[in-house]
Amino acid sequence: MIKVGELKQGNIIKVEEEGELREGVVVDISRDEHEALVDNGVQEFWYTEEDMHPILLDDEQLLKLGFEKEENEDGSVKYKKGAFRILLPQKGNFSKIEMWYREDRRHFNYPLSMHELQNLHAAMSKIPLEKA
């Protein structure tokens, strides 16, 4: 479940419809109704918080967002998109993440989801992060 307060337009999430999970993009948000209008690839529909789920960040998702992957000799992995960087000290371990954009550096000791990364990227770089 995702709280509506965490979402912004353009966030990529999963929505549950008739027991099936489908990826979608947030189009609009109704904070009063605690719902988000999501384009699920077939239609736009209003979903409640119970029907919206995060997509955990992984290698595949970062590549979909247009990041370039660079594996280092020390076992770490760096993802680059413009001046924005994400570093995993240990390949494949998304529970420890370091990210930076110019002088703004942030560290996370828990797995992030796609919409959280999109919101962090926008806050740090002022550029929306969308699928490539």
Looking at residue 42, its pLDDT comes to: 87
Looking at residue 55, its pLDDT comes to: 97
Class of the CATH domain delimited by 4-53:
mainly beta
Structure token pair of residue 131? 């699928």
Which residue type sits at 32? D
| Number of neighbouring beta carbons within 10 Å of residue 2 | 22
Length of the chain: 132
Q: Where are the chain's structural domains?
A: 4-53, 59-125
Residues 6+ apart with CB under 8 A from 68: 79, 80, 81
| Residue 97 backbone dihedrals phi, psi, to 5 degrees | -130, 135
The model carries a pTM of: 0.93
Residues 6+ apart with CB under 8 A from 64: 131, 132
pLDDT along the chain (132 residues), means of 10: 95 92 96 94 93 96 96 95 96 95 96 97 95 81
Q: Could you tell me the strand order of the sheet in which 104-108 lies? A: 68-71, 77-81, 84-88, 97-101, 104-108
